[in-house]
């Protein structure tokens, strides 16, 4: 801990940096809150081989989300690297689990997703017209490629689903996942008949463990942002609970469900089940394969 304190103090030119408390975190980091002469700060310390990509991607994600003024995120301060360790430094926000502000978060998330659409409508120079992001990010420990792409289904298949399929097939030796993918991939475009997808800035990993609330408002954190179809952000909210009926009602008051919304739900959930299979093993195998079979049958009909 002493060496991390020294690094942070040197980079931020701090005179005071006292460890305050250890913060529970995900699978990739060691998290601490400090009291300093610039206030309370949060440090995410990562020594994983992909640590630099993980935390640089999170920094840029927080930066872009904050710029929208749509929903509160921890203010990013700096990313520093030393030897094999990377440290993300942000403001520290004291929050609890999301309860009171479920509806408010749904409303704010919809505002976030509409921000770029508003810029596109007025042909603003600031509008983002492709799918992707300024840097690659990581969803958990695994890097995901964010090279810009003008076609959403092409981006989602080649830069989200296909790498997960390839990775899980190599790690598990499962041949069925590759067979099902060969049947599913050519059909995915049919799920978007009559729908035009515009790029929205997304959180990217919006499960219940990455949201909370202060006394005044909801907070989202640990993003893996990119510009994509707004429906993608809703997928993982349904998978592990934690979001109320009011959350979805307030969201869809601003962004109504489009044609094929229900059919696309499992398509977007598939990414997260595959990602969990890659991270945590065979417990997610049958769920992933089941979704693929369901989609193949659904689209065939």
Residue ranges of domains in the chain: 2-91, 102-300
* Rounded Cα distance, 91 and 163, in Å: 34
Catalytic residue among 18, 53, 205, 216: 205
Backbone φ and ψ for 285, nearest 5 degrees, come out as -65, -55
> Tens of pLDDT along 99-150?
999 999 999 999 999 999 999 999 999 999 999 999 999 998 889 999 999 9
* Rounded Cα distance, 286 and 127, in Å: 40
* pLDDT value of position 20: 79
291 and 266 in contact (C-beta within 8 Å)?
A: yes
CATH 3.30.70.3270 fits 2-91, yes or no: no
Q: What is the pTM of this model?
A: 0.95
Smallest CA-to-CA distance from 221 within 77, 66, 117 is with 66
DSSP class of residue 260 equals T
Question: 187 is written with which tokens?
Answer: 């059909």
The enclosing H or E element of 23 equals strand 17-23
Q: Is 205 a catalytic residue?
A: yes
Secondary-structure breakdown of the chain: helix, strand, coil percentages, each rounded to the nearest 5: 50, 20, 30
Separation of first and last alpha carbons in the chain: 58
Question: 72 is written with which tokens?
Answer: 């509160």
* pLDDT value of position 60: 97
Flag whether pLDDT at 28 surpasses 60.
Answer: no
Flag whether pLDDT at 27 surpasses 60.
Answer: no
CATH superfamily of 102-300: Aminoglycoside phosphotransferase (APH), C-terminal lobe (3.90.1200.10)
Flag whether pLDDT at 3 surpasses 80.
Answer: no
């Amino acid at each position: 801990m002493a060496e991390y304190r020294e690094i942070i103090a040197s980079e931020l030119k701090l005179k005071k940096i006292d460890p305050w408390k250890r913060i529970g975190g995900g699978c990739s980091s060691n998290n601490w809150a400090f009291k300093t002469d610039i206030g309370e700060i949060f440090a995410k310390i990562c020594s994983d081989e992909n640590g630099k990509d993980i935390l640089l991607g999170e920094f840029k994600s927080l930066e872009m989300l904050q710029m929208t003024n749509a929903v509160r995120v921890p203010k990013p301060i700096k990313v520093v690297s030393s030897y094999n360790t990377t440290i993300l430094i942000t403001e520290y926000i004291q929050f609890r689990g999301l309860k009171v502000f479920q509806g408010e978060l749904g409303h704010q998330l919809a505002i976030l997703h509409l921000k770029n659409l508003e810029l596109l409508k007025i042909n603003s120079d600031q509008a983002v017209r492709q799918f992707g992001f300024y840097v690659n990010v990581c969803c958990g420990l695994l890097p995901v490629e964010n090279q810009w792409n003008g076609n959403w289904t092409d981006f989602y298949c080649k830069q989200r689903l296909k790498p997960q399929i390839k990775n899980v097939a190599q790690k598990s030796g499962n041949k069925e996942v590759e067979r099902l993918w060969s049947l599913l991939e050519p059909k995915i475009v049919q799920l978007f008949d009559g729908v035009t997808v515009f790029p929205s800035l997304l959180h990217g990993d919006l499960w219940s463990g990455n949201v909370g609330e202060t006394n005044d408002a909801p907070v989202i954190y640990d993003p893996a942002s990119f510009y994509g179809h707004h429906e993608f952000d809703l997928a993982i909210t349904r998978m592990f609970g934690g979001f109320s009926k009011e959350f979805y009602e307030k969201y869809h008051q601003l962004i109504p469900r489009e044609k094929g919304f229900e059919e696309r739900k499992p398509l977007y959930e598939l990414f997260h089940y595959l990602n969990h299979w890659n991270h945590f093993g065979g417990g997610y195998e049958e769920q992933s394969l089941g979704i693929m079979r369901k989609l193949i049958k659904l689209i065939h009909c």
